[in-house]
Amino acid sequence: MGGIKNRNRRVVVTGLGMATPLGLSVSESWDKALQGISGIGPLNYPDAASAPVQAVGQVSESDWNEIVAAFPEQAATQGEKRTLYALWAARSALDDSGIDAGNSDPGRSGVMLAAGAPINRLEDIGPWIDPEGNFDSRRFSNEFEQVHRESIMRNNTHRPSALVAAHYGLGGPNGTISSACASATQALGLAFRSIQRGESDVMLAGGADSMINPVGLVFFVLLGAANTTRDDPGSACRPFDRKRAGLVMGEGAGVVTLEEEQHALERGARIYGEVTGYGSSMDAHQVTAPDPKGVGAARSMATALSDAGIAPEAVDYINAHGTGTKLNDMAETLAIRNTFGEHANRLMVNSSKPLTGHLLAASGGPEFVFTALSVHQDRVHPTLNLTNPDRKCDLDYVSEGQRQAVIGTALSNSFGFGGQNASIIISKYRQ
């Protein structure tokens, strides 16, 4: 098909936005990350004490109310959390970039967002079960307007990307990626490709998700992946630790403004870094477990390095997928060793998930924001709760606290259920 049309088009990061359990401000969230302050807390739901899952990364009620106040029309007519998280993070990324979307060429500005599955609400089925236990489809069709606005029945997967585009008048390329936990990094990679190919000049990219609801929580319990301990919630997520006990779910969004270099320079934009490479792969191994040798993950990282045209030794830091599950952490560590060889011993590696929880489809969004800030500021946040090192997880996970170090190039990983892998590289921008 001819490949990429114009590799000379460089892609830079000019805006950052997020809404996570750490807060709604990028600067506040980054400060907390550097200080090792976690946003994970106890599940705040009615009758939560009897739930198998106790620790979650929830956006606070006050932050949620602030988002609702910022988008009253969408909150009244849509109401679904992931959509409003996406709108907030997109607005923050645009504001941070200094782009006036209303004065930009709408056909050259687009949206590429990851989104998880809409909310399954048991109460949207129960009212239409007849006394014999059968679903009354006729009555349901007549009373469909009673279905809650947050329900999956009213929210298709591409709702966040469509509403962000409509709200800001972004009429260029638009897409929704839904490939489990690799989704947001894939969305970032595809937005990068769109600008690199010349299809667009500006792209909002990242992801939004929330599965902190009864059905969403029990789904991961049934898969055997969720952390069900009743210890201190702040210490529940323990990537690379010998006592890690499963992922801790979070919610929120991370969106960035990606821009063609000359487009950014002509308007005097601040540049956080340059996206230089992207890779994706599939384990083709098992739906609920990664390839134990990390073959697919290694292939994803190697493809990103090849795409960037750099040697493994050029990478200084990796923001790992780091879920805190027994299988992922060992497989990712092995994949890093197989990709980087002896240089793996010199890499700084951390996980952001003990700070926010696992944002599932959206996880690569905030993690890319943190990676960009690390490149821009030469600082790396710590991996929290790593107090019992696993001998099979033997890299430098920055467990002692934040670290100051020159970071010329960094890589961010996202690996999803089903074996989907994605890796993206960001480097210091040099004109």
Residues catalogued as catalytic:
181, 321, 358
176 contacts 115 by C-beta, under 8 angstroms = yes
Q: How far apart are CA 336 and CA 309, in angstroms?
A: 18
Q: Residue 345 class from Cβ within 10 Å (0-12 exposed, 13-18 middle, 19+ buried)?
A: exposed
Q: What angle do the packed helices 61-70 and 81-97 form, to 10 degrees? A: 70
Pair 40, 354: CB distance under 8 Å:
yes
Q: Which two tokens stand for residue 427?
A: 């480097």
The C-alpha atoms of residue 425 and residue 412 are separated, in whole angstroms, by 6
Distances in Å between the Cα of 351 and the Cα atoms of 109, 206, 208, 345, 371 are 32, 18, 19, 17, 11
User: Of 380, 424, 372, 415, nearest to 399 (Cα)?
Assistant: 380
Q: Are 166 and 73 in contact (CB under 8 A)?
A: no
Instruction: Give CA–CA dist 75/356, Å, rounded.
Output: 24
Token pair of 37, please? 């302050």
